[in-house]
Structure 1
Amino acid sequence: MKRLWRVQVLQHGIFTLFLLLLVLTWTQANDDVLMLMAFKKFSVTSDRHAVLVNWTDTSSSPCSWHGVTCSPDGRVSTLDLSYAGLVGSLHLPNLTAMSALRGLYLQGNSFSAGDLSASSSCMLETLDLSSNNFSDAFPGQGQSFFSSCDRLAYVNMSRNSIPGAGGRIPFGLSLLQLDLSRNKISDSALLAYSLSSCQNLNLLNFSDNKLGGKLSVTSISCKNFSILDLSYNLLSGEIPPSFVADSLNLKHLDLSFNNFSGEFSFLNFRCCRNLTVLKLSGNNLSDTQFPTSLASCTLLEVFDLSHMGLKNNIPGSLLGNLKNLRHLSLSHNQFTA
């Protein structure tokens, strides 16, 4: 009898726990409905393609809504409204309050920056806000999503009109890729900070901005860098000889179409054994000699020295070492036969 009673109590306990989990899941899903409806109300002023027409506050779950993907427990894990024709002023706290949200894709819309801070429950790992209408500087430290979303690994804010930052961007240990290309960033201090405080960053793209002045960082401290693109800016002066000297993992380096000057031969590529793409075109480097350390770049596949006004031919012994070379661009120089 006692045994039967214990079994009944255990079954009742399991059933009660199941009901509690069910209620908790329903409550969390309902919270996601509230947060998404708040985003629709406060961030979206025009839904030209009616992509949010099935977003209604009478729904018990948002999992069937356009752009919404849910985890098995019914929580919103991804919101993808890319190229949806949405217009408005983005308020991120409404979305980052959803603690199961891992991926947020809003690229290709017409959002301006309303409130780019984030709730303390932010669990975002990927944030894509590229190709929008952001034209304000990044909020200062403690006021942007960089401060609260400490799991962010991939951030893309390219193709906007961002002029810079109101303070330093606090890179978290989890941030792996940051793309700020095709903006209007002129704050060279932001570039210097990014190159010296990059933690685990492996991709940094500042291409096609308005960065000017000299590189104030003599060497990149980002040991995990794989891709660095600073092309199409207004950077000038000499490239520090040891700028890439210790970048053992660097695979793609693009410094093309700036105003760099100085002696090409001074650059140290001795440790760039993993380099596959090197673009220096459109600069003013002098070429009394080619860097002998380039012979270490045996994996080089793309080598662009076009539009440089170079006069001295590349030593055949150097080219002989680059056995993986697929693309060599030497146009608009002054080489002789």
Structure 2
Amino acid sequence: MGIRALFHLLLVLLFSALASTHANTEGDALYALRRAVKDPQGVLKSWDPTLVDPCTWFHVTCDADNRVTRLDLGNGRLSGRLVPELGKLERLQYLEVYMNNLVGPIPKELGGLKSLISLDLYHNNLTGTIPSSLSKLTNLKFLRLNGNRLTGRIPRELTKLGNLKILDVSNNDLCGTIPTSGSLSKFTEESFVNNPRLEGPELMGFVRYDVGGDCK
């Protein structure tokens, strides 16, 4: 075998090994989610950890490099929790887990999903605060967290999301004031309504003020 052919073979083996490593890492991350939820309708039945490539699983979309780019788990009657391992899906663009019965916090590790375009967690029973780490999602266009039980302030760091086109945090229990600078300045009252403890010019119609230190 010539040197050039040997070099080509080594490259093929290297890329194959890298692809397998990524598949194992992403498969492990997805299987962590499967273990953390109850699935009465068998939505995740095909998520078999003995299969090296998670791209063969239902509701999982991958790119040409067999990297996970989309999870479509909306309206699946899933209950349980989101897991921090989801932050390992480096090329994930769409995380769609809306209209389920998920509880617990939004993992701060989701802020590591640098390719994310859409984060749809609406109509669950999620609690805790909106992680400020979501401000790292510079490609994010759609952020829908409405219809949960989220508390605390709207992180001011979210004003850095320059590509954001849709924001909906309505129907939660958020408090404090509504950030009005940067990307959040373009959203109307509809994005924030039905948070009884939330104050701000978009809702109150006058100069924004802070409600103090009792916002939790």
TM-score category (smaller protein): 0.7 to 0.9
What whole-Å deviation, never above 9, does each CA across 1:252-305 have from its counterpart, x for those lacking one? xxxxxxxxxxxxxxxxxxxxxxxxxxxxxxxxxxxxxxxxxxxxxxxxxxxxxx
Tell me which amino acid in the other structure corresponds to 2:195.
N
Query: Match for residue 277 of structure 1?
Result: none
Equivalences for residues 135-174 of structure 1 within 5 A:
135-139=127-131, 141=132, 144=133, 146-165=134-153, 167-171=155-159, 172-174=161-163
Task: Please state which structure has a larger fraction of its residues in helix.
Answer: 2
Tell me which of 98, 104, 110 is aligned to 1:107. Answer: 98
**Distance in 1 separating the partners of 2:92 and 2:199:** 40
2: CA distance between counterparts of 1:119 and 1:237?
A: 34
Structure number with higher relative contact order (C-alpha < 8 Å, ≥ 6 residues apart): 2
State the partner residue of 1:76. Answer: 68
Offset of 1:179 from its aligned partner? 1.1
Spell out the pairing of 1:52-131 with structure 2 (5 A cutoff).
52-91=44-83, 93-118=84-109, 121-123=112-114, 124-131=116-123
Pairing 1:32–2:26 present: yes
Alpha-carbon contact 1:127-1:156 (below 8 Å) kept: yes
Q: 1:78·1:103 contact (CA, 8 Å) conserved in 2? A: yes
Q: TM-score, normalised by structure 1?
A: 0.54
Matched to 1:114, the amino acid is P
- 2:9 maps to which of 12, 15, 32: 15
The alignment's TM-score, normalised by the length of structure 2, stands at 0.81
Number of aligned residues: 204
Looking at CA atoms only, which structure, 1 or 2, has the larger radius of gyration? Answer: 1
Percent identity between matched residues is 28
Contact persistence 1:177–1:202 (CA under 8 A): no
Deviation at 1:17, TM superposition (A): 1.0
**Cα distance change of structure 1 residues 15 and 212 upon mapping to structure 2, 3 Å threshold:** closer
**Which runs of no fewer than 5 residues in structure 1 stay unpaired?**
216-229, 241-337
Give the counterpart of 2:164 among 151, 175, 187.
175
Instruction: For residue 156 of structure 2, give the secondary structure of its aligned residue in structure 1.
Output: coil
- The answer (yes or no) to whether the contact 1:212–1:236 under 8 Å persists in 2 is no
Deviation track 1:28-61 (CA, whole Å, cap 9, x = no partner) reads 11211111111222x31x1111111121210111
Amino acid paired to 1:62: P
What is the deviation of 1:87?
0.5
Structure 1: distance between partners of 2:20 and 2:204: 58
Report what 1:293 is aligned to. none
Q: Distance in 2 between matches of 1:33 and 1:213?
A: 43
Matches within 5 A, 1:1-337: 8-41=2-35, 43-44=36-37, 46-91=38-83, 93-118=84-109, 121-123=112-114, 124-139=116-131, 141=132, 144=133, 146-165=134-153, 167-171=155-159, 172-187=161-176, 189=177, 191=178, 193=179, 195-198=180-183, 202-203=186-187, 205-210=191-196, 215=201, 235-236=203-204
> CA separation in 2, counterparts of 1:95 and 1:111?
15
Letter of the aligned partner of 1:178 in structure 2? L
Query: How many angstroms does 1:72 deviate by?
Result: 1.5
State the Cα distance separating 1:132 from its structure 2 match: 0.4
- Which amino acid is the alignment partner of residue 174 of structure 2? I
Task: Compute the RMSD of aligned alpha carbons.
Answer: 2.7
